[in-house]
Amino acid sequence: MVRDDDQQAGRWGVGAHPLLTAASSLTTGLAAAHGAIDAGSDPSWLAAEDQGQLLRTLGRAQASLDALLMRVLTACSGPDSIAEGTAARSAADWLAGEQHTRANRLHAATTLGKALDRWPRLAAALAAGEITTEHARAAVEALDRLPRTGDDALDPDLLVQAETVMLGHCGEFTPPQIRTLGARLLEAVAPEVAERLEAQRLADEERQARRETSFSMSRTGRGTRRFRGEIPELHASILDNALRAITNPRRTHLDGGIPFEDDGPLDGDTVTDGQRLTDSQRLGQAFCTLIENLPTDRLPTHGGSPVTVVVTITEETLRQEATEHGYTGYTGYTGYGTTTGGAPVSVGEAIRLGCQHGVRGWVVSGDGETLHLGRTRRLHTGPQRLALELQHPTCQARGCDVPAPWCETHHRHAWAEGGHTTVDDGALLCPHHHHHRTHDPKYETRWHPDDTVTFHRRC
């Protein structure tokens, strides 16, 4: 900006610069307006049409004054300025000190003023009061994202076209809507460039996501493990969809929880008996269900088998349990199982997992001699599963309408009793009836001629 010291000292006289005169006129005019209201000129006395005209005029004046302040703040921050003369970092900081306020708003005005120098049409519209400051800021954010340098730089004509488009939006939409539209601005004015840049951005983002991917687990000492990590957005989306699909069949309530027991509170587990689960608990249990339903026959082998649950039990205990409880009295077992990772698991839980994963029974004598190393089993095959779904479109628990694709396969004749993985011996049960009824020793399972099953509380 060219200084006009000679003009100020000569033609206009000291202190009579046009900007000073205009600023003085502004304060005089505003004082007159406030004085009129103080003297009794109530704006509510105006006709509705005149009230609208007054408000529109004041709004335009506010926008124009904002534009003027931006331009002056920018100009007064350079050499030989008030900022330099007072050792302030900028005119915004100096003015904030004069007003005894924070400089954030003034810094934002200075930044927007500098940006508007790049977009003269928006600057002129704001100075004329045709758009608001927030509209100008939203439009500038979109325009400044356009490539103006490098191989993908847009032609000047395209930049003018983009500015015209955003200026038109300012007259029709709110600032948040303009930001939404501005996100697609490059696609509107230069779709080929937008597609190329978006592909490059996604590739860079995916590479960075892979570098930042991590996962770790630690034991809590309470039978659980705490895990933490970071995974790419794509995989997180897949996981989220899977968990939501698993939780979807369960009936939600206004409090956001789900009733895990549908026949009243029961004694026992405080999480699953008569309690409403929070969303995080539901997703946590869904995550466990997802793990249990992993297609283990497609995983890389580790130690000979992807997932093997080894049930270790003494011959004496096995014979006693078979005599007293059969193979369904899971709570009476005194043996235990271990996974290939060394995690302990109750015999009852191991037998339940037999419906989903390979299970190997290891029977030992009292002195530790191996008497029998049982066979492993696989999940029902794809064709077997399809046949079951064709026969039973929903969960086979009587009255349950959970769709078959959300159900789990189950052996009617327990695997521990020598059951086989066949369609005739197979059944489809939703996670609730499979986990918390069939494999719950508190319930008796009764199959009926119509291929439905009911559960009855044991006395």
How do residues 166-198 score in pLDDT, each as one tens digit?
Answer: 999 999 999 999 999 998 898 888 888 888 887
Instruction: With respect to residue 202, please indicate whether it lies within any of the assigned structural domains.
Output: no
Specify whether the CB–CB gap between 129 and 59 falls below 8 A.
yes
286-290, 394-398, 399-403, 439-443: which is most confident: 394-398
- Residues 325, 348 within the same domain: yes
Task: Report the pLDDT averaged over residues 415-441.
Answer: 74
Nearest to 364 by CA among 314, 326, 399, 295: 314
pLDDT higher than threshold 80 for residue 419? no
Tokens 């900081």 locate to 93
- Residues 262, 307 within the same domain: no
- Residues 13, 147 within the same domain: yes
pLDDT higher than threshold 50 for residue 272? no
Domain tally for the chain? Answer: 4
- Residues 141, 273 within the same domain: no
User: What is the SS3 assignment for 115-176?
Assistant: HHCCCHHHHHHHHCCCCCHHHHHHHHHHHHCCCCCCCCCCCHHHHHHHHHHHHHHHCCCCHH
Tokens at 320, concatenated: 């006693």
Instruction: With respect to residue 363, please indicate whether it lies within any of the assigned structural domains.
Output: yes
Instruction: With respect to residue 39, please indicate whether it lies within any of the assigned structural domains.
Output: no
- Residues 305, 438 within the same domain: no
Q: Select from 195, 212, 247 the last residue of a domain.
A: 195
Residue 167: predicted pLDDT: 93
Lowest mean pLDDT among 69-73, 220-224, 360-364, 398-402: 360-364
Contacts of 92 (CB under 8 A, 6+ apart): 73, 77, 103, 106, 107, 109, 110
Between residues 420 and 366, the one the model is more confident about: 420
Instruction: With respect to residue 28, please indicate whether it lies within any of the assigned structural domains.
Output: yes
- Residues 305, 361 within the same domain: yes
Instruction: With respect to residue 220, please indicate whether it lies within any of the assigned structural domains.
Output: no
Q: Select from 180, 195, 210 the last residue of a domain.
A: 195
166-to-74, 144, 157 alpha-carbon distances in Å: 24, 12, 14
pLDDT higher than threshold 50 for residue 89? yes
- Residues 275, 319 within the same domain: no
The mean pLDDT value of the chain amounts to 76
Tokens at 94, concatenated: 């100096």
d(CA 412, CA 445): 9
How do residues 298-311 score in pLDDT, each as one tens digit?
Answer: 555 544 444 455 55
pLDDT higher than threshold 90 for residue 112? yes
Instruction: With respect to residue 216, please indicate whether it lies within any of the assigned structural domains.
Output: no
Instruction: With respect to residue 200, please indicate whether it lies within any of the assigned structural domains.
Output: no
Task: Report the pLDDT averaged over residues 214-243.
Answer: 86
Domain membership of residue 438 as a residue range? 382-457
- Residues 286, 426 within the same domain: no
d(CA 85, CA 247): 67
User: What is the SS3 assignment for the chain?
Assistant: CCCCHHHHHCCCCCCCCHHHHHHHHHHHHHHHHHHHHHCCCCHHHCCHHHHHHHHHHHHHHHHHHHHHHHHHHHHCCCCCCHHHHCCCCCHHHHHHHHHCCCCHHHHHHHHHHHHHCCCHHHHHHHHCCCCCHHHHHHHHHHHHCCCCCCCCCCCHHHHHHHHHHHHHHHCCCCHHHHHHHHCCHHHHHCHHHHHHHHHHHHHHHHHHHHHHCEEEEEECCCCCEEEEEECCHHHHHHHHHHHHHHHCCCCCCCCCCCECCCCCCCCCCCCCCCCECCHHHHHHHHHHHHHHCCCHHHCCCCCCCCCEEEEEEEHHHHHHHHHHCCCCCHHHCCCEEEECCCCEEEHHHHHHHCCCCEEEEEEECCCCCEEEECCCCCCCCHHHHHHHHHHCCECCECCCCCEHHHCEEEECCCHHHCCCCCCCCEEEECHHHHHHHHCCCCEEEEECCCCCEEEEECC
- Residues 429, 351 within the same domain: no
122, HSE (Cβ side, Cα atoms, 13 Å): 33
- Residues 285, 305 within the same domain: no
* Angle of the 156-170 helix axis to the 120-127 helix axis, nearest 10: 30
- Residues 387, 369 within the same domain: no
Q: Select from 238, 269, 292 the last residue of a domain.
A: 292
Instruction: With respect to residue 206, please indicate whether it lies within any of the assigned structural domains.
Output: no
- Residues 161, 274 within the same domain: no
